[in-house]
A and B are shown apart, each in its own frame.
Chain A
Amino acid sequence: MLILAIYTGYAAIGLAMAMNLWRLATGPEKGDRILALDTLTVNAIALVLIYGLHIGSAYYFEAALLLALMGFVSTVALSKFLIGGDVIE
């Protein structure tokens, strides 16, 4: 029962990441691509969390936390670079 839900979760998040890749490839504006990268990071966090739940290891939560921090910092840096001006003021 639980294993069926986990496999369905893998398939759904994989499909969501493929859709994000499509928006990253096409996507006529720069904001589209930044948003697609941020959403890819969030989907990767979800995938890592479900995998940690699947194999019963407690360390994958730390990997998800690191992904969240680095994803947020990279989105902020990319947005500030494209606005113009300084990335770090």
Chain B
Amino acid sequence: MTGTLEILVAALILLGAAFILIGSLGLLRLNDVYSRLHAPTKATTLGIGAILIASMLNNARLGTFSVRELAITLFLMIAAPLTANLIAKTVVDGHNAKDTPER
């Protein structure tokens, strides 16, 4: 017999996996490197956030209570803009170095 909490955990796992699939599909199919920077950030925050909420609800369903999973979400939300900025800087520096004429 399935309770509401189990259905909620299953729905959140499916939502998180769907966001991760959409993020990687965007990384595969978009046709410019600047556009490809946008897609995996959705997978990072929304996908892992949903899976972490599902894990916390599963712990609540089984009796133990833990909020340690919020640490991963917090760290990823802090780290994602930094990595995106550095990767964009790498791409822009590569393009600028190609455009400047050789001395």
Contact = CB atoms under 8 A, between A and B. Distances in A.
A42 B44 contact: yes
Contacts of A56: 62
A83 interface: yes
Contacts of A38: 40, 83, 87
A22 B16 CA distance: 22
Nearest to B40: A39
A8 B17 contact: yes
Contact of A53 (B44, B47, B58): B58
A76 B24 contact: no
Given A31-B33, A43-B24, A83-B93, A1 B10 contact: yes
Q: How large is the interface on A (under 10, 10 to 19, 20 to 34, 35 or more residues)?
A: 35 or more
Interface in B43-79: 43-44, 47-48, 51-52, 54-55, 58, 62, 64, 66, 68-69, 71-72, 75-76, 79
B2 A83 contact: no
Contacts of B89: 79, 83
B27 A5 contact: no
B47 A46 contact: yes
A31 B90 contact: yes
Contact of B75 (A4, A34, A53, A68): A68
